[in-house]
Amino acid sequence: MPTSDGPSRFPVFVAPPNGNPPRPPGYVPVRVAPVRSPHPAKAPPPPPMKPLGPPPERRATFNLSEENQRRERDQNLQKKKNSLICFGVSIGAFFLTLILVLSLSSGDILDENCPDHDLSLSSWSPGHQPEKAVIVRSGHLFRLESSATFHSITIQSGGKVVFADNADGSKNITLRTRHILIEDGGALHIGAPKCRYRSRATVALVGRSDDKAVAAVPGMGRKFIGVMGGGTLELHGAERVSWSLLTRSVPASGLNTGGYSFLRNFSRGINLRVVDQDTAAVLLCERYDTHDSRNDSRRLTQLLRTLPEGRIVTLAVGDSAVKSLLDETKKAIEEKLGSSFVYDLKYRQAWALVSVVGGGNASCSEDVKEHENHNTGGRALARRNFTTVDGVDFSVTAYSEWKTGFPITGFQVDAVDQVLLNLQDEVQQTWQPGDQIVVASTDYSMHQAEEFTLLPCSHCSSRQVRIQGKPLYNHVGEILDGVDMRAEVGLLSRNILIYGEMESSCYGNNACQFFSHDTYGGHIKAKYLHFSTPRS
């Protein structure tokens, strides 16, 4: 019977019919194994099954990790809290500093040398309370921010008042009171040695020294700033040159040749003045009746043609000047003086001119006004400024007009508001326009001392100042025969001012037998104190 050990596609072995078939020599019996299909590829082993619960030892490890995580969370939370607290404190400090900084004037930077920058001070704007006696007690640390008025101020031990200031010097403060008493341990500060006060601080002492309605302070009186032993009064204004000396004499009127002024209400024709350009001296005064005389017109023509170049010529019409004014004269005025109006002058028309011979139209200043019903619509005015060889500025002016039926002409050579003072010291940086100065007398009379207000002067050197007005007296600025006769020039203006408001008339025991005015202005008194009031 056929048998098969495998699939039909493999050969089939058939048993011999007799069971023992003949074997060839060298036969070695072997066992023939059937051929089988190759084994399929092994699949990856299944993942191990998770235990239903952690073994005891694994449970212990998990609990320990959870505890660590919880501890870490607590630590992180605490760190966050600490960070938030630090952040909050920093923000608070920042805003506090910002508020304190902004409480100072705009543009100021905190400076430990400035008493008004002390962060312990409280802003103080008490206003005007003329009947209130203020007591600044211990622990009261005030920065006075604005002007105020009191009956009196007492600063006790531990109290302090500081005048506020700012960078641009515009925080001006005036304190008006009968008296200020600074007791032992009290302090009043206006600036400091390393932080000079820049604004204007004024302390005005008011009232009468004999007012019985006000109790007098023993040893001080009724009208004073008084500092007891151990008290502090600090006054440190801007550093400025206090005084200097003239280095060049200043004549009366400001000009060595003196001033010149002429006014007349009737002088028909063309009135003329010739002025020396180097000294401001008036060289010629003349009138040419060019209304009635052709000969006068010719004389004027001849004069203009003979004047040297550079001379100052000024003309002013009185009444009328055109009836006999020749064309040759008009041409000379146009060519020599640069006039633009001379050819068009009319009957009784007001006309004034100031010019320089040979200077052309650029050097000519002239003006005309129409004559209507015996008047003109204002004054015909011509003016030009010049400088002497000594450096003194002066002005030359001519004018012409009709007023209520009368013709008026006038001339002026003056140094008003043009006088320069030449000084020994460099003062331009500290003496400012608007400041008051005094020039001492160099005569026997003390009454020849004069006060002036300073004016802006862009062309001044560092040792020059320009004054308003003109001197009434001569002031020497030289050393004569070995004697220093130079006049002292003192600065009267200060940015810290303490003064007494004076009464309208003399009173009490103030030498009224000699004076009709008040002579008592108040006092600054001190007793064993730290008292610092350097030049300001």
- Complete DSSP assignment for 23-86: --TT-----PPPP-PPPPPPPPPPPPPPPSS--HHHHHHHHHHHHHHHHHHHHHHHHHHHHHHH
Same structural domain for residues 405 and 508? Answer: no
Distance separating alpha carbons of residues 229 and 341, to the nearest angstrom:
79
Same structural domain for residues 360 and 457? Answer: no
Q: What six digits make up the tokens of 79?
A: 């760190």
Examine residue 30 and state whether it is found in any structural domain, yes or no: no
Q: What is the CA radius of gyration of the chain?
A: 53
Number of domains, the chain: 3
Question: Could you say which DSSP state residue 501 is in?
Answer: P
Residue 9: the pLDDT is 44
Strands, E assignment, 103-157: 122-124, 128-136, 141-144, 148-155
Same structural domain for residues 220 and 274? Answer: no
Residues 6+ positions from 347 with CB-CB distance below 8 Å:
320, 322, 323, 371
DSSP string, 232-281: EEEE-------EEEBSS-B-GGGSTT--EEEEES---EEEEEEE-TTT--
Same structural domain for residues 499 and 487? Answer: no
The structure's pTM equals 0.65
Examine residue 433 and state whether it is found in any structural domain, yes or no: yes
Domain boundary residue, one of 388, 416, 444: 416
Distance separating alpha carbons of residues 47 and 41, to the nearest angstrom:
18
Question: Could you say which DSSP state residue 503 is in?
Answer: P
Examine residue 98 and state whether it is found in any structural domain, yes or no: no
For residue 134, count other CB atoms closer than 10 A to its CB.
18
Residue 497 contacts residue 200 (beta carbons within 8 Å): yes
Same structural domain for residues 380 and 270? Answer: yes
Domain boundary residue, one of 394, 416, 438: 416
Same structural domain for residues 267 and 411? Answer: yes
Domain boundary residue, one of 416, 436, 464: 416
Q: Which of 202, 235, 252, 249 is nearest to 489 (CA)?
A: 249
Number of helical (H) and strand (E) elements in the chain, helices listed first: 3, 33
Amino acid, res. 378: G
Residue 248 contacts residue 477 (beta carbons within 8 Å): yes
Examine residue 36 and state whether it is found in any structural domain, yes or no: no
- List beta partners, residue 372: 375
Examine residue 43 and state whether it is found in any structural domain, yes or no: no
Examine residue 50 and state whether it is found in any structural domain, yes or no: no
Distance separating alpha carbons of residues 50 and 59, to the nearest angstrom:
15
Same structural domain for residues 531 and 500? Answer: yes
Examine residue 41 and state whether it is found in any structural domain, yes or no: no
Residue with tokens 């060019």: 290
Same structural domain for residues 282 and 410? Answer: yes
Same structural domain for residues 293 and 149? Answer: no
Note down pLDDT in tens along the chain; length 536 residues. Answer: 444 444 444 444 444 444 455 555 544 454 444 444 555 555 555 555 555 555 554 444 445 566 777 777 777 777 777 777 777 777 766 765 665 555 554 445 788 999 999 999 999 999 999 999 999 999 999 999 999 999 999 999 999 999 999 999 999 999 999 999 999 999 999 999 999 999 999 999 999 888 888 889 998 999 999 999 999 999 999 999 999 999 999 999 999 888 899 999 889 999 999 999 999 999 999 999 999 999 999 999 999 999 999 999 999 999 999 999 999 999 999 999 999 999 999 999 999 999 999 999 999 999 999 988 778 778 999 999 999 998 888 999 999 999 888 999 999 999 989 899 999 999 999 999 999 999 999 999 999 999 999 999 998 999 999 999 999 999 999 999 999 999 999 999 999 999 999 888 898 888 888 888 888 888 888 875 445 554 44
Examine residue 84 and state whether it is found in any structural domain, yes or no: no
Q: Which of 317, 372, 318 is nearest to 339 (CA)?
A: 317
Same structural domain for residues 411 and 424? Answer: no
Question: Could you say which DSSP state residue 423 is in?
Answer: B
Domain residues for the domain of 142 are 109-238+494-535
Question: Could you say which DSSP state residue 99 is in?
Answer: H
Same structural domain for residues 274 and 207? Answer: no
Residue 45: the pLDDT is 57
User: Is the sign of the CA dihedral 352, 356, 359, 362 positive or negative?
Assistant: negative
Same structural domain for residues 402 and 278? Answer: yes
Question: Coil, helix or strand for 476?
Answer: coil
